[in-house]
Amino acid sequence: KPVVAIVGRPNVGKSTIFNRIVGERVAIVEDKPGVTRDRIYGTGEWLNREFHIIDTGGIDIGDEPIVRQMRHQAELAIDEADVIVFIVDGKEGLTGADEEVAQMLYRSQKPVVLAVNKVDHPEMLERTYDFYSLGLGEVFAISGAHGRGLGDMLDEVHSSVPQDIEDDYDADTIKMSVIGRPNVGKSSLVNTLLGEERVIVSNVPGTTRDAVDTPFTRDDQDYVLIDTAGMRKRGKVYETTEKYSVLRALKAIDRSDVVLVVIDGYEGIIEQDKKIAGYAHEAGRAVIIVVNKWDAVEKDDKTMKRFEKEVRESFQFLNYAPILFLSAKTKQRVQHVLPTVKEVSERHNMRVPTNVLNDLIVDAVTMNPTPTDHRGHRLRIKYATQVAVGPPTFVLFVNEPELLHFSYERFIENQIRETFDFEGTPIRIFARKK
Ligand code: GDP
pLDDT tens per residue, the chain (434 residues)?
A: 788 999 998 889 888 898 888 875 443 334 344 333 345 777 788 888 888 888 887 665 566 777 787 888 888 888 888 899 999 999 999 999 899 999 999 988 889 999 999 999 888 888 899 999 998 988 999 998 888 999 999 999 988 887 655 566 888 999 999 998 888 999 899 999 999 988 888 766 555 444 568 889 999 999 999 876 444 444 444 444 455 566 778 878 888 999 999 999 999 998 878 887 888 898 899 999 999 999 999 999 999 999 999 999 999 999 999 999 999 999 999 999 999 999 999 999 999 999 999 999 999 999 999 999 999 999 999 999 999 999 999 999 999 999 999 999 999 999 999 999 999 999 999 999 98
CA distance 413 to 418: 9
Q: Is 294 annotated as a binding residue?
A: yes
pTM across the whole model: 0.73
What is the model's pLDDT at position 89? 95
Confidence at residue 27, expressed as pLDDT on a 0 to 100 scale: 37
- Which stretches of 121-185 are DSSP H helices? 150-160
- The DSSP line for 298-356 is ---TTHHHHHHHHHHHHTGGGTTS-EEE--TTT-TTGGGHHHHHHHHHHHHT----HHH
In the chain, the percentage of residues whose pLDDT exceeds 70 is 87
Q: Do 374 and 407 meet the contact criterion of CB atoms below 8 Å apart?
A: no
Contact 84, 78 (CB under 8 A): yes
pLDDT tens-digit readout, 300-334: 999 999 999 999 999 999 999 999 999 999 999 99
- CA–centroid distance, 182 to ligand 1, in Å, is 9
**CA 176/CA 258 separation, integer angstroms:** 5
Which of 188, 227, 326, 329 for a ligand 1 pocket mutation test, highest count of atoms within 8 Å of Cβ?
A: 188
**Residue 41: CB atoms within 10 Å:** 26
Ligand 1: atom nearest CA of 190 is 7
Closest C-alpha to 297, from 322, 321, 274, 326: 326
Q: Which amino acid is at 66?
A: I
What is the 246 CA–ligand 1 centroid distance (Å)? Answer: 18
Please tell me the predicted confidence (pLDDT) of residue 124: 87
Write down the pLDDT at residue 61. 59
ipTM: 0.92
pLDDT in tens, 195-240: 998 888 876 655 544 456 888 999 999 999 987 644 444 444 444 4
362-387: string of b/e by CB count within 10 Å (b at 16+)? eebbeeeebeeeeeeeebebeebebe
Nearest residue CA, atom 15 of ligand 1? 185
The answer on whether 275 is annotated among ligand-binding residues is no
Q: How far apart are CA 361 and CA 248, in angstroms?
A: 40
Instruction: For the chain, list the domains and their CATH numbers.
Output: 3-160 (3.40.50.300), 174-348 (3.40.50.300), 354-433 (3.30.300.20)
CA 4 – CA 75 distance, rounded (Å): 14
What's the pLDDT tens digit per position in 152-174? 999 999 888 876 555 668 889 99
Q: How many angstroms does the Cα of residue 20 sit away from the middle of ligand 1?
A: 40
Can you tell me the distance from the alpha carbon of 209 to that of 3, in angstroms, rounded to the nearest whole number? 12
Would you say the CB of residue 328 lies under 6 angstroms from ligand 1?
yes
Instruction: State whether the beta carbon of 333 lies less than 6 angstroms from ligand 1.
Output: no
